[in-house]
Amino acid sequence: MSLIKLYFTPSLLLLVLSCPLWQPGQSMPMVIKDPVTDDCVSCGRVLLQNITEALSRNDLFHGINCTEQSVELNTETNTPSVCAPMESACSGNSGRPEFHEDSCRTNIREDLHHYYKFLAAQPDPAKGLEQTLFSVKEVMESCFPRSQYTDLASQQAAKPSNTYEERLRLCKVLKGFQVRTITINRALGYIKSVEQTL
């Protein structure tokens, strides 16, 4: 019993002592962060509107009832988990849940980049994706002004139209992008609110 106490006490003490010193966003001191601006937040909202609008266009999904299709999410990123505020042992002290802000931002940036490249590669004769593509770029530029993207030249696929399988995939991926954008917008709003209280 006393042995257990001896083992536990120093680490508990360390935890208690280190908690009040810890602040969200300060875990990686050398990272220079751009603040989340009003522009960034509003571009995120416009993007969601544009994706929703694109999903309602029948010309993009000819022969497919997109409402009935499943959602295909981008699994190359961990945005939903790293952007979710977590309960931590210290949250009682700091009054704020722990939040992996740096990974959250990185994952958001990777998501946007991923979806931009996917959408840019779609044949889009009716220009049903143009507004969404433009919107994604706006979010990237306003939320991550320091990032350099070398491969964002809008190189539309040469093919004049897409096949049934391609339209089906577009529908599922776009639905996933809609869900992901809701997560992204919530996270950007959260980061902004934390920044305002610091």
Nearer to ligand NAG, 46 or 179 (CB): 46
Check residue 70 for interaction with ligand NAG (CB under 6 A): no
Cβ at position 47, least distance to ligand NAG in Å:
8
Nearer to ligand NAG, 88 or 131 (CB): 131
Check residue 168 for interaction with ligand NAG (CB under 6 A): no
Check residue 68 for interaction with ligand NAG (CB under 6 A): yes
Q: At what angle do helices 38-55 and 164-197 cross, to 10 degrees?
A: 160
Cβ at position 88, least distance to ligand NAG in Å:
37
Check residue 181 for interaction with ligand NAG (CB under 6 A): no
Which window, 11-19, 23-31, 61-69, 167-175, contacts ligand NAG (CB under 6 A)?
61-69
Check residue 131 for interaction with ligand NAG (CB under 6 A): yes
Cβ at position 13, least distance to ligand NAG in Å:
54
**Site residues for ligand NAG per CB under 6 A:** 46, 49-50, 53, 65, 67-68, 131
